[in-house]
Structure 1
Amino acid sequence: MLTLQPITKDNWEEAIRLKVKENQKNFISSNLYSIAEVQFLEQFRVIGIYADNQMVAFAMYGIDPDDNNYWIYRLMIDAAQQGKGFGASAVKLVIEEIRRTNTNEIPVIMIGYNRENEGAREVYKRAGFVETEIAPWGEQIAIYKLKV
């Protein structure tokens, strides 16, 4: 069973030790960069995703000030933990956390990913995201409707 825990002074080093596979490095910023970036994004959080007591994944999400929608900016599964079914479960956990804290009743969650990242495409599709358009910055955009 997976659980979410905030990134704090007690586990940030564990988070930065997580790495994606070599052929995935161009698809996502490092966790260290994300932890630094979130310091300047008021409505964003970084979280560790744990299987038992081991961090197996990392995510960054929040309300984007440009469009006032929830965005999952980062979601990564550690290379050693990929292929174990954590991806879709981790996405669903993040969705449930957003749903639980969505006091502004924002209707959607957005995500953008590299069009060549087939693994991400499959995970997000399995979690219920629907691809929409290509963003001006080149990523595939997908949307998850919190309210139907």
Structure 2
Amino acid sequence: MTLRLEKITPDNVEAALRLRVRPEQEKNVEPVAVSLAEAYAWGDTAWPRLMVDGDRPVGFVMAFLDIAWNPAVDPEDRRSGLWRLNIAADGQGRGYGRFAVRAVAEEIRRRGRDRLFTTWEPGEAGPGAFYLKLGFRTTGETSGGQTVGVLDLAAAS
């Protein structure tokens, strides 16, 4: 496996847009096109990347970096984390998701943060078991009906 993340560019945007998760997972994650529109709107706080194995696109990952989580409640609560993770239907079960989470963790650590947040659709068909297996713990919060989880990067080192 020769995995790497590539910045989204005019040369690879079409490949990113062609990525599709399994049909039963489509209710759990937005398509890459929506993610790229959000990345454009959020500017430097979004970190979208195409995951490539050799020369084959296998996934898309997007982080959010240093955003005010709920400024009305706590203006000092700034968070970074995994915003979106799409693994191609034919690439699942090969470690690509773990690679993506580790890459986001490295970027967040590089920026001086020690916690990685994410959200997921609750329920058996959702990705909660995947995140919990990686060491995330639920915070007791929800965001848009999704479960909020956090990974302590100091403990995950």
Which TM-score tier does this pair reach, normalised by the shorter chain? 0.7 to 0.9
Equivalent in the alignment of 2:59? 57
Give the superposed CA RMSD. Answer: 1.8
Contact 2:142 2:148 in 1 (8 A): yes
Q: 1:73 deviation in Å?
A: 1.0
Instruction: State the one-letter code of the partner of 2:4.
Output: T
Structure with greater Cα Rg: 2
Q: Structure 1 residue runs of 4+, over 4 Å off? A: none
Equivalent in the alignment of 2:46? 44
Instruction: State the one-letter code of the partner of 1:66.
Output: A
Contact 1:27 1:117 in 2 (8 A): no
Q: 1:145 deviation in Å?
A: 1.4
Instruction: State the one-letter code of the partner of 2:90.
Output: A
* Structure 1: gaps (5+ residues): none
Q: 1:146 deviation in Å?
A: 2.3
What is the number of residues matched between the two proteins? 145
Equivalent in the alignment of 1:141? 148
> How many angstroms apart in 2 are the aligned matches of 1:96 and 1:82?
22
TM-score normalised by structure 1 residue count: 0.88
Q: 1:119 deviation in Å?
A: 5.8
Equivalent in the alignment of 1:71? 81
TM-score normalised by structure 2 residue count: 0.83
Contact 2:5 2:52 in 1 (8 A): yes
Equivalent in the alignment of 1:122? 129
> How many angstroms apart in 2 are the aligned matches of 1:8 and 1:22?
27
Contact 1:88 1:124 in 2 (8 A): no
Find out whether 1:17 has 2:15 as its counterpart: no
> How many angstroms apart in 1 are the aligned matches of 2:8 and 2:132?
27
* Structure 2: gaps (5+ residues): 70-77
